[in-house]
Structure 1
Amino acid sequence: MAAASGAILIRVDQSGLGDYTKIQDAIDSVPSNNSELVFIWIKPGTYREKVVVPADKPFITLSGTNAADSTVITWNDGGNAPSQSPTVKILASDFVGRYLTIQNTYGKTGKGVALKVSGDKAAFYGCRILSYQDTLLDDIGRHYYKNCYIEGATDFVFGNAASLYEKCHLHSISKGDGAMTAQKRESPLENTGFVFLGCKLTGSGGAVLGRPWGSYSRVVYAITYMSDVVQPQGWNDWEDPTKQKTAYYGEYKCYGPGSKRDKRVKWSHSLSNEEAAPFLAKTMIGGRGWLRPAPTQFRKNSPIVKMKPNEN
């Protein structure tokens, strides 16, 4: 476990006043099998690069300054396998992303992933994640997203992670046949699924809350505002009726015009207090054991520098 008392500070600044001008160069400077907290502070600007945090470099934070729209990581790639197109790939454990816009501008002609998260124990605060199809590949591991904005049209949150989205905003730009999630849980023995707690769903056209990429797909929306972008049926079976018996799709105390359940598919669930309880805390992701506050002390090599970054 990395020491939590302070973090090594690396500055990225396109003007040349930091340690590096490119984000990837800063990541590359972190030694393999890193065991210390590393805080890579990215000054405002638009960074046109693909970024990878390798599996052997845990405990890295990538952070903008205070608002996600001022620090943008952007690329244009798509049409190939989802694992190849991401603008940003997180393969390492114990990663934190803060106040960043991560986008793929590939557009409407195919799959273009903005962010792929495959490391365990990853957390994102105040980030904007933007694309059209397959925006966020929430691949594997335990993940936490808070106060994030996620935009897309088709399956724009997909994968088989165990993830809690708290106070996040999902915005559909579908023309009418979109799907907000495509969760890939393939066995009842897997403790994976997506939970949206205290979130907001908006957009144009229409979209379902989810469809089953995996037979045992699991998605729960709790205490979430649903605009009329949510289609009345709520969910679909991806043209495979057998998945109606195995997918687990639940709603709990949601509100707004899209939350009405009178026309929902019969195989979705209106959760009781008892049924919803496991999804209303960080239990599924074990978050209390690994989520950490932002560091307030930084050092470059030996001297300690006291700073006060924005709260999560």
Structure 2
Amino acid sequence: MRNPGQFVLYFLLALLSTCMSFSDAGNAIRASNIQRLIRVDPSGKGDFTKIQDAIDAVPSNNSELVFILIEPGMYREKLVIPANKPFVTLSGRSASSTIITGDDGGDIFRSPTVSVLASDFVGRYLTIQVRMDKHIARRCWKAYYNNCYIEGDVDFIFGNAASLFQKCHVHSVSRGGGFITAQHRASPSENTGFVFLGCTITGLTNTFLGRPWGPYSRVVFSLSYMSSAVLPQGWDDWGDPSKQRTAYYGQCECYGPGADTSRRVPWSHVLTSEEVSPLLTTDMVNQQSWFRNAPSIFV
């Protein structure tokens, strides 16, 4: 992909998980309301001053819920949550005061500010800022974003996850001809795609809703407001007309000046509520198997 410009994600109660495989023991862990507490405070009053140091303190092959509380501050770090450290929550106190920012460049899969490789990860009340060609949250096979603010330029929501964006504000900062999504579904057998439910779509100037990174790219917008920044055609085939036959792009009961379907590309879909209803629940991301609320008891 081309450089996707900047990407800023404000986690307001956002959840994302790779959701790989689970056991009965794992289900019991997720149901628990008791979590180990680790505090990160740049002033030195916590357990650690850096977030990555707190992550590193989580045991390998972790089997308990770990709540890493991040006190307000600007954290200039490149974070990695390894695959052998599941059940971790990163939580600030407010998205506006807890900021993680990075400025690493290079390959899109090697330069994220935050790389989540473990299952059962939860992010809460954080701002994650990415500039130029940086990205966030790789290998998120199942992801749920609730009440987030997501901002970027070109292809700033991308990958091959099954992702539900609910009540999110997605804002394009492209100066013209930007793309919001680049979903990478490679075959019809993959149960992946992006669903935007009850979202707000805005932009500085003109932007496309998406283009197919993978031939079977799948993106649906439902019950969402679209400003005039959304181009009338809505979607682009990325210079490959063959993808028009396999990509699945649609919208249902969207509104606003950018939601008019009369000038959409002919290979996109106008969906009925019956057609889109299976996608409009957290079932698509298996949310009930890994979702957990904030703990009430810390150890």
Question: Quick check: 1:184–1:215 contact (8 Å CA) kept in 2?
Answer: yes
Per the alignment, residue 163 of structure 1 pairs with 163
State how far apart, in whole Å, the 2-side matches of 1:192 and 1:61 are: 24
CA deviations on 1:41-66 (whole Å, 9 max, x unpaired) are 0000001111110000000000001x
Equivalent residue for 2:109, pick from 83, 88, 93: 83
Alpha-carbon distance in 1 for matches of 2:293, 2:102: 30
Structure with larger RCO (C-alpha < 8 A, sep 6+):
2
TM-score by length of structure 1 reads 0.85
Match of 1:297 in 2: 297
Instruction: Describe how 1:14-163 pairs up with structure 2 within 5 A.
Output: 14-65=42-93, 67-78=94-105, 80-105=106-131, 107=132, 111-113=133-135, 115-118=136-139, 140-163=140-163
Matched positions, count: 271
SS of 2:134 mapped into structure 1: coil
The corresponding residue for 1:177 is 177
Q: Secondary structure at the residue paired with 1:55?
A: coil
Q: Is the 8 A contact 2:143 2:161 kept in 1?
A: yes
Q: CA deviation at 1:290?
A: 2.0
The 3-state SS of whatever aligns with 1:214 is: coil
Gaps of 5+ in 2: 1-25
Separation (CA, whole Å) in 2 of partners of 1:270 and 1:39 = 42
Letter in 1 for 2:87: F
Q: Report the counterpart of residue 9 of structure 1 in structure 2.
A: 37
Gapped runs of 5+ residues in structure 1? Answer: 119-139, 300-312
Q: Once the two structures are superposed, what CA deviation does each residue of 1:263-290 show, in whole Å capped at 9, x if it has no partner?
A: 1001100001221111111121121222
Cα displacement (A) at 1:209 = 0.6
Q: Give the equivalent residue in structure 2 for 1:267.
A: 267
SS of the aligned residue for 2:285 comes to coil
1:100, distance to aligned residue in structure 2 (A)? 0.6
Map 1:150-299 → 2, pairs under 5 A: 150-299=150-299
Structure-1 separation of matches of 2:33 and 2:255: 42
Counting aligned pairs with the same residue, the percent is 60
CA offset at residue 296 of structure 1?
A: 1.4
Q: Any conservation in 1 of the 2:95–2:126 contact (CA below 8 Å)?
A: yes
Question: Residue 168 of structure 1 aligns to which amino acid in structure 2?
Answer: C
Normalised TM-score (structure 2): 0.89
User: Where do 4+ consecutive residues of structure 1 move more than 6 Å?
Assistant: none
Whether the 8 Å CA contact 2:109–2:138 is kept in 1: the answer is no
Q: Is the 8 A contact 1:83 1:116 kept in 2?
A: no
